[in-house]
Structure 1
Amino acid sequence: MIGNIYLIRDHNKRVFPALCLKEKEQTMTMAQIRKANEGDVFNTQTRTQMESYNRGRKVKDQIKIREKYEINTVYIDQPCGLKSKSVVMVNKLHKVKSDQVIKHISEVPNKLVFKCINVMTNIQRVKKLKEELHILKKKVNLAQINNERYQDYEKRIEEIIRKIGYRKGKSRIKKPFLNYREVPNSGYIKIYKGGR
């Protein structure tokens, strides 16, 4: 069953093709398949081929080169039984029982199934890291309000940003005053003298 493409009916009575990624007793985990657009076919090339294709074209005519953390589809070309070149949308998973399967369409090599599973685990890993990043940013804001140390949070934020693949985070560790609220250093500083 794993690696086969089926026509399935989901809970909303929609019918679409899907690739079986996992099977457990009577339940199968299926990833939805859609028609590949020009960008999907383009992203199967090597980076040098992509750059040579985009060279000299206007910005609006260039096809965006997607980075690793943005990709959530796997190109499967055109297996026999499908009408066009297709991609597996790894982020659109459906838990399907055997009675929801309408018919068997085609089969893909195990190499593509492993690639889909790897992309799926990578997406889930990045999702967890983004959730942790969101929580840490809230903790940093709260620590700033309470005038507490938050160096450990910022170190972890920078680690997460590197793991996800975003731009390199700015290092705030070398700030003066050990990351407490800074003393104003620009403009007029008013000094109030208390009375005796």
Structure 2
Amino acid sequence: TLTQRLVTHAFMSHKVGLGAEHLGLHGAICVLLRWNTVVPHDTITWVPYVLPDAEASAQKEDLILWPPLVVIHNISMSNNNPVVKVVAIEGIEAFLRCKGFVGGKIKVCLGKPADQSIMVVKFLGTFTLLGMAERLHQYFAENNRERIEFERKTYNGKSNDKWEAGIQGDEVEQLPYGCVGVAEDLDRLDFHTKKYSVVKRKKEIQDLANAPVKLDDR
């Protein structure tokens, strides 16, 4: 196919000065089409390999947006839901404080579209704040509010589940789903956030954070 020829060209091209761009294009398309991005160094001719669901999902989740952020979906505002429950930025901020996510290094803003159906929790680009973003992601996951569940609910046109938010005591609210932002979330960001976001491999960031400190032998 045309797409496969494009990906093959991106991987096999040796044009000087464009190596990183070509490999980046190769990786991005492979993730989109659920093809394996890992290619042995001695590969002569690249051939696509379709990954199982679990591996394809893990590969997608590895391409995170940097500085780290969490994308929040207000599922009650979907077109299929007759009862709209708007969660304002102030509500998200109150929820974050309740769960211990506080400090001037976190900012909540509207995503795209700017109708409060998508909101973004932005963190500074540090290892510590990446860990905090992942803790928030884990909280959503533990309450069945992660990306896979969101996609399943919106695909089925159902959005009636309730979630213990902790915003106002024990009050149960129609509240969002959330996940650490990955490459496919770029179009859900406002112009300013998108402009200053880049795609990085989470594994490479974690490897850098865990690398031993090199001491000067002099």
User: TM-score, normalising length from structure 1?
Assistant: 0.24
Q: Which has the higher contact order (CA 8 A, sep 6+)?
A: 2
User: TM-score, normalising length from structure 2?
Assistant: 0.22
In terms of Rg, which structure is larger? 1
Q: Which has the higher helix share?
A: 2
